[in-house]
A and B are shown apart, each in its own frame.
Chain A
Amino acid sequence: MEYVNPEGIREDGRRPLEMRHLHAEIGTVARADGSAVFEMGNTKVIAAVYGPREVQNRSQQLNDQALVRCEYTMPNFSTGDRMRKPKGDRRSTEISLVIRQTMEACILTHLMPRSQIDIYVQVLSADGGTRSACINAATLALADAGIPMRDLVTSCSAGYLNSTPLLDLSYFEDSAGGPDVTVGILPKLDKVTLLQMDARLPIDIFEIVVQLATEGCKAVANYIHEVLLENTKQLEYRRGL
């Protein structure tokens, strides 16, 4: 199976170091405190943030910091075949945990004790890289909700097929069985908060692929900055300042 043809073009016409088209919108769910839609190519994810608000389960209340909860769901129609169990299956639970821990690292939870922040992420259309798209969407939604954070968290995936490092895998490339590295960083502080990899990879190639994914994250961070700046301008304009 050829994923990169001899001219160096991938299945969907991109070059190996090229990301998919990014598109983001803020404030799509009117009832939520913060919400965002994030698209990476054909993967489309909607995130909503509710909080800080009262803890719903008193026994879980933390006295010195905020409780962060996250739920990741995929509707039945988001992948090619209809899924039987949209949530509660192992993959969804794992991704919920991953997103929660990633966001917890960057939210300043000690500023909001005894409260709860809920992040709900729903995948509308899945085409590879859903984990990354979810984290990016969650970052935007948290920024829209005005929750204090240390820095944005951006995430991107990369892989290694046909002896070429590839950036931002689509579902087709992901299902090839090669290694899949997902990296989440805080761009300004230049720190890594999420790093996941499966399948085998020699260590020197691993470094190259991680470096590539980090570059991808920085590109996403630039885009998110632009979107947030545009959004602030709109808010200023509407307020008449």
Chain B
Amino acid sequence: SPNFLLVGYLIKNRICTSDSETGGSPKWDNKAQYLLTCIGFAVGIGNVWRFPYLCQIYGGGAFLIPYLIALVFEGLPLLFLELAVGQRLRKGSVGVWKTINPVIGGVGIGCLIVSFLVGVFYNTILAWVLWYFFHSFQEPLPWSTCPLNESRTDYNLECKKSTPVNYFWYRETLNITPDIEISGSVEWGMVICLASAWCIVYICFIKGIDSMGKAVYVTSTFPYLVLTIFLIRALTLPGATDGLLYLFTPDWQTLKNPRVWLDAATQIFFSLSVAFGGLISFSSYNEEKNNCERDAVLVGVINSATSLYASIPVFSILGFKATTALNACKDENILALTNHFEFSDQNITLQNYDYWYEYLNTTYPGKFQSLSLRECDLQKLLKQVLTPSYSTGLAFIVFTEAVISMPGSQVWAVLFFVMLFSLGLSSMFGNIEGVLSPLNELKLLPRWIPKELTSAIICLISFLVALLFTLSSGNYWVEVFNGYVGSVPLLIIALFEIIGVIYFRGMKTFSDDIYIMTGKRPNIFWKACWMVISPLLLLVVFVAYVIVQAQTRPTYQAWNPDYEKFPETEQKLYPDWVFAIIILLCVVPVISIPLVALYQLLRGRFRKSSVGMELNPYDNDAFVTDTQEQKTQRA
């Protein structure tokens, strides 16, 4: 608009801005950029491993029902709400809530803290991905064989007892300690990878959404390409159909377990990346007359479709892994039988294994029992294949093991880790945006700092905080953050978001907003969801979650080579001080909501929100401040 240009001129010589040519707020180059950014933010590493993992433990195809119900009644309304609010009020996550009503301004600050904490540990996962990526260019892959022990007479003991893949992950990558209390030392290899990850995030974010918008063309589309390649490759592997059948065979009994519904609701939540504030910022850079209803439905549906699409190659590969393990088990038994009964070679093969097994068992039971053969059962192996009980290990243990058995391992490993990295990177953009735009709105940093420097400062501070995760016990801390920062605070923030929009802004005003933006008012479905269903669902989920967590003392799985049941992971209780930190992590992001509310109430500034007053097209903060400064300077 001409006002912006004019103002840009007058202050051009005083303040050098490095903004885009419009001279003021950033803007998307085109609609595709915006959609790709939102989709990239929503689609993350969790879509690839957490969804298939949940699908598998909650009875395959039956999990889709609570998942889709949660998507329709909880995910989509929240998504639509955030996009609409951001696009209409054209501010970041702090500004919109302050605009609606200063009392709930704390919600934005909560979003800021959550985005920061999640960004810190999420990028650590990307650092691990980078480590694996760097190590995938070797022949043979370093996680395919055990290293030798010091005297070169045998393989390393820890590696022999577990598997080379586990050893590479726990010992060579993490160098993990047996307990969260034992911090160990800083792992320099990991520090380098972490620095690289933050540098890559920085270079993509160096110019705000101008540079990020270009980066998402690659980071959001490349994973789909790789997923398709993996899909085709995985479906041609032997045993793929077993894995797929296992995934999609519904076990209706699990629907009676309330944990399933709880996990479906929280999965949709974390998967769509609502309540982070990033989506609000992204949609505020849109033009006002944009159909955000269609965008919200599109993003939500694509996110869930990606989860489903990704679970097909995942389960095909897991079926392949189980089949490989089955054949190895059978080969072992065949060797034992052949040696013991002195048959000639190739008499017992994989094909006639079952026949020979039965025959020998019945004909020579004594001899047979003395061999104590291992039982080779496909269903058991399929279950066993998914035993890493916590999800971050799934990608690094399960997939890397599968990749070894595929011909051309290096290619698949490199492709896989690049895909994981771009999935995670596009999600990181949303996290960083969720930190940067509230910071700019809160005016915590002086105006003359260019945005390159702000991004650099944020990346540096996050890197320094994330050094905690490069300690030997770092993986345990990532699990703590993953489990607690990304669950309870988000639920509370989302609840307050809905309450804020529907009750503070008012359903009527909000419908008008949407009418202005899209040309039609929200229909009865949206209204019912916003006013009743979604808040109710969120409240129920929150209460249930707290109850479930409060019932048992939280535990974690520790990798302890001295454990008697090694290579199984040892279940340990969190010590008290870690428990206190967990409580802090849950409480600190949301404490700002009541604090700010109290502050505002005490100060008596209880302005009603009105569209006319807030959205003055001549209202340009920078302009007003500057001329006042000019006046005071000359006075």
A complexed with B:
no
Chain A residues proximal to chain B, CB less than 8 Å: none
Q: Give residues in B with beta carbon < 8 Å to A.
A: none
